[in-house]
Amino acid sequence: MDAIKKFFEKKKADTKFKVAGEGRRLESSSHAMQSGQRRFSSQDRHHRQDPSYEARRAGAAALARVESSKPTEVNWSLQAIKAKARRQLEAEQKALAQLKLGDTPEDGGAGERQPTTVTQDAAPMLAVREVYFSCPLIGPELGTYEETKMRIQEFLYNQMDEDLGISACLMIHTCNKNKEKVKVCVETLCKYIENIVSNPTEEKFQKIRLSNKAFQERVAPIEGTQQFLQAAGFTINELPFNDTTESFWVFSDASEEQLNALEQLRDALVSAEPIKPQLDRSTQVLLPAEAAKYTDLPPEFFNLTVEELKKEQQLRTDAVERNMMLRTKAMREREELREMRKYRFALIRIRFPDGLILQGTFYVYEKFGNVLLFIRENLVQDWRPFILNLSGGGKIDEEEQSLVELRLVPAVLLNFSWDPSIQDPSLEDNVFLKQETMMLLRHDS
């Protein structure tokens, strides 16, 4: 266990060093010192106790007084973006209001009614180009799930010269899809080691015939086992067997030091966990007009195969027939959840009062608390309580429930507002997203 932990700590440290950028002399630039201070603050924040609510309010009030006493620079670019967002939001609200009244923008409510087309901002298919993944252990690069898996596999192979045993343990857990077969393989390899450690003088426990049925079924097909046996001290030799010769994995060094190393390797194999691609939120900031565009979800969002997709038409026909039958509430809820299980990811959008929309990608079985954390990470006032409401009404605050359980799949639009119970004149109610988040604003519309 300690060996696995040290391996990850070293690789994470190496990764941080690689992405830290070019070094600078201390006296070369005040900008370098400032950027270094910012990095230190972001890392050190996790080790300090968060300030109390009273301290936060007092600090915010003091900062507001200081800022109000000196001229502030206006970010005209940001102001223009917000103004454009407000205009688009007002246009949408006006169009919806006119639709409800039976009026149209063209006639202003007078004369013959004309058909009005209103794009719904909470359409079930929202704009997303692709689902991306990363692996912090090997670097910040993004890619598809398969691309990231390949990079992880290449990384493990490249680490063999440095630590063959740990790399082999991680390969066994990471590079094989069938978890049950991996479990059986690990149990078999552990049994080989335990037999040698418990009976160091028994020659029969120090040989594994390659053509042995158990070995061929449980160990040989699993990627990484050959490297594991090499790290354990086994070598392939030709030995006599039934009037002929066959290939065996042979363990020859039964010294106390090697036996201790075997036990450590066994513990590392048992405690190792697979290195998995991590879902990237693919954070975007959208204007209202961009959010209203209808875009099909990419294939990665679905659990369905091609054959299952072909059955969709028949399933829809069956659904129409079921809808004509009387069903209990429990029956309807079960069918609704069954329908949602065909999705793997959910697209969550949060609309702020200034019209801008924050978008992120989530697994459908993630807790809603992860959505709250995602929002908070992108807020300027990240400590301040806020409320999320569905577009059709209704507050959502069930942090421990999954997105599927809350019916937020495959996509949803949530309206953001500050918690009205916090009344403080020093707080800016019209400030929401961080500057670095605002830089993600899309301009392709």
Lowest-pLDDT range of 83-97, 169-183, 207-221 = 83-97
Confidence of residue 70 (pLDDT cuts 50, 70, 90): very low
Residue 41, pLDDT above cutoff 50: no
Residue 116, pLDDT above cutoff 70: no
Does a structural domain hold residue 404? yes
- Is the domain of 211 the same as that of 107? no
Q: Do you know the residue count of the chain?
A: 445
Q: What is the CATH number of the domain that holds 418?
A: 3.10.20.90
Does a structural domain hold residue 164? yes
Q: Are 210 and 248 in contact (CB under 8 A)?
A: yes
Task: Give the chain's end-to-end CA distance (angstroms, integer).
Answer: 51
Average pLDDT score over residue span 76-94 = 63
Q: What is the dihedral of CA 183, 187, 193, 199, to 10 degrees?
A: 180
Does a structural domain hold residue 112? yes
Average pLDDT score over residue span 67-88 = 56
pLDDT tens digits along 100-109: 555 444 444 4
- Is the domain of 88 the same as that of 170? no
Output the six-digit token pair for 378: 């992108």
| pLDDT at residue 304, as a whole number | 54
Does a structural domain hold residue 333? no
d(Cα 94, Cα 380) in Å, to the nearest integer? 30
- Is the domain of 166 the same as that of 197? yes
Please report which helix (H) or strand (E) contains residue 207, including its range: strand 207-209
Give me the domain span that covers residue 366. Answer: 53-131+281-303+343-445
Which position has the higher pLDDT, 415 or 128? 415
Residue 310, pLDDT above cutoff 70: no
| pLDDT at residue 7, as a whole number | 75
- Is the domain of 410 the same as that of 445? yes
pLDDT tens digits along 208-264: 999 999 999 999 999 999 999 999 999 999 999 999 999 999 998 888 899 999 999
- Is the domain of 113 the same as that of 167? no
- Is the domain of 120 the same as that of 204? no
| pLDDT at residue 209, as a whole number | 96
14 CB neighbour count, 10 Å cutoff:
13
- Is the domain of 205 the same as that of 262? yes
- Is the domain of 181 the same as that of 218? yes
Does a structural domain hold residue 16? no
Lowest-pLDDT range of 125-129, 140-144, 230-234, 323-327 = 125-129
Q: Read out DSSP for 68-80?
A: HTS-----HHHHH
Q: What is the CATH number of the domain that holds 207?
A: 1.20.58.2190
- State what percent of residues in the chain have pLDDT above 90: 47
d(Cα 3, Cα 265) in Å, to the nearest integer? 9
212, 207, 217, 210: which is closest to 187 by C-alpha? Answer: 217
| pLDDT at residue 3, as a whole number | 73
Q: What total of structural domains would you count in the chain? A: 2
| pLDDT at residue 393, as a whole number | 80
Residue 36, pLDDT above cutoff 60: no
d(Cα 381, Cα 369) in Å, to the nearest integer? 18
Residue 26, pLDDT above cutoff 80: no
Output the six-digit token pair for 215: 């070995």
Does a structural domain hold residue 32? no
pLDDT tens digits along 259-300: 999 999 999 999 999 999 999 999 999 988 776 665 566 666
| pLDDT at residue 16, as a whole number | 61
Kindly report the pTM of this predicted structure.
0.65
- Is the domain of 299 the same as that of 428? yes
- Is the domain of 78 the same as that of 169? no
Q: Indicate the residue among 247, 271, 295 that finishes a domain.
A: 271
Does a structural domain hold residue 425? yes
Does a structural domain hold residue 421? yes
| pLDDT at residue 139, as a whole number | 87
- State what percent of residues in the chain have pLDDT above 70: 60
Residue 110, pLDDT above cutoff 90: no
d(Cα 270, Cα 276) in Å, to the nearest integer? 17
- Is the domain of 148 the same as that of 262? yes
pLDDT tens digits along 177-196: 999 999 999 999 999 999 99
Helical residues (DSSP H) of 272-400, grouped into ranges: 288-291, 306-310, 312-323, 329-340, 368-377
- Is the domain of 113 the same as that of 79? yes
> What does the mean pLDDT of the chain come to?
77
Average pLDDT score over residue span 157-162 = 92
Confidence of residue 373 (pLDDT cuts 50, 70, 90): very high
Q: What are phi and psi of 56, to 5 degrees?
A: -65, -45
**CA distances for 404 relative to 40, 124, 308, 416, angstroms:** 38, 14, 21, 21
Residue 126, pLDDT above cutoff 50: no
pLDDT tens digits along 324-336: 555 666 666 666 6
